[in-house]
Copies of this chain bind each other. A is one copy, B any other.
């Protein structure tokens, strides 16, 4: 009745792997809760001790993650992995865990600690520099950060481009050269498109400026999120300063937003965060407490948030369903505004200085300029002292705007000060992937607009669960994209979508070249 000794032993080893990975996941998710709580609930005087608590949990999790015993266990499990189908839970878990282990084990803990420390210092220096409107505070820390990041890169096998190593942390397997090619294609198409739009009659978005009661915004957002599939049994929505989504498990999804009295930005950020949350929610429940229970990459994650915010959330069909509810919520504001006017306002295209305020069309250029600059910083092509000017020059070139000061220029984002070089490009890649997936969903389901008009969002949600979410990290992002769309990353569908949309908003003549 017993399985053969060899096999039984291997299963014991797999159980041991599950135990270890479960422990690591529990610590990481507890750290996530510490962060969520800090941003949403914690009384302010708790912050100093909270920072220590977070650091401890991350350190203990990281110690378990790099323990040589885990590496040995993963080696022992090679035959077990090979005895299972590559897509199976068992093989994928061993494979992905080994990849994670090997990456983590290459970085000495002292370097990792120093990176974390320098990231916190950089974050504080960035706040200080913004406060003082003085970029000069940053270069010494940025210099140290770049040194550390170069040491980090040196921990790995030589790549075609050192930036590949940074990118790999967010977008595993994607090369800098591939990103550069896609971005060149986007830039070539967008710069003239945006110039044309800037010359056209601007869209009137007066209806979006007014006084919007925060509680009413929340009530409306909850109605919308519940219609989309965020049920109270597994989701929460809380207030924070900077909106984010996090999860404690696939069964406990937390969105946060910031409702402002004078705009509907908070409602739109609910849509955005819903996309992130849905990804974590629809991962195969068997993956809970393992490293498979996450989105496969930053770009894939962002594709989901951008899909729900832009492709669903800014579409006329969606608002044909939700607009009466919004009108009932804000009758003074929208009672006599036709849905078409509201929809046009929501899709206003206008070059702006701040990335986080950018519209769907100009957004990518904000990213592309940052990607180009961070490569040049990293290669030394741009000296740190010249960064504010280099930033302003690209703003002029791509968006036709002149930053009035460093706060509206190079100090906009924390990403370089806190050492997260390599993250920026994934924002724009998310847009690209979102439309690739969307087209494939419409191939399978038929046109989505008629469904949205009827308030039917389950078909898209379920399609995404079936074709993307449930796999978690079983495939690499590149494998998953080819498997589900038949194509590698391709800006074509995204650019075609933008052109179509601008044509609808401004008339085909304004945007045809």
Interface residues, chain A, with chain B CB atoms under 8 Å away:
22-23, 26-27, 29-31, 33-34, 37, 41-46, 48-50, 52-53, 56-57, 60, 232-236, 248-249, 251-253, 288-289
Contacts and interface: CB of A to CB of B under 8 A. Distances in A.
Given A41-B236, A43-B232, A252 B50 contact: yes
B248 A49 contact: yes
A166 to B, nearest CB: 30
A22 B46 CA distance: 15
Contacts of A232: 43
| Residue of A44, A53, A60, A232 with most partner-chain B CB within 10 A | A53
A34 B23 CA distance: 15
Contacts of A251: 43, 45-46, 48-49
A249 B252 CA distance: 25
A33 B22 contact: no
A57 B57 CA distance: 9
Contacts of A53: 26, 29-30, 248
Q: Which 6 A-B pairs have the closest CB atoms?
A: A46-B252, A26-B56, A49-B249, A45-B251, A26-B53, A45-B234
Contact of A234 (B22, B30, B46, B289): B46
16 contacts: A27-B57, A41-B41, A43-B232, A43-B233, A43-B234, A45-B251, A45-B252, A46-B248, A46-B251, A46-B252, A49-B249, A49-B252, A50-B248, A50-B252, A52-B289, A60-B60
A64 to B, nearest CB: 9
Contacts of A236: 41, 43
A406 B49 CA distance: 46
Contact of A56 (B23, B235, B248): B23
A253 B37 CA distance: 13
A278 B41 CA distance: 19
A27 B49 contact: no
Contacts of A60: 23, 27, 60
A45 B249 CA distance: 10
A22 B49 CA distance: 10
Contacts of A56: 22-23, 26-27
A60 B60 CA distance: 9
B57 A26 contact: yes
Contacts of A22: 52, 56
A478 to B, nearest CB: 30
Contacts of A234: 43, 45-46
Contact of A233 (B31, B44, B249, B288): B44
Contacts of A44: 233
Contacts of A46: 234, 248-249, 251-252
A43 B289 contact: no
A26 to B, nearest CB: 4
B52 A233 contact: no
B23 A252 contact: no
B43 A34 contact: no
Given A49-B288, A52-B289, A252 B26 contact: no
A37 B45 CA distance: 19
A244 to B, nearest CB: 16
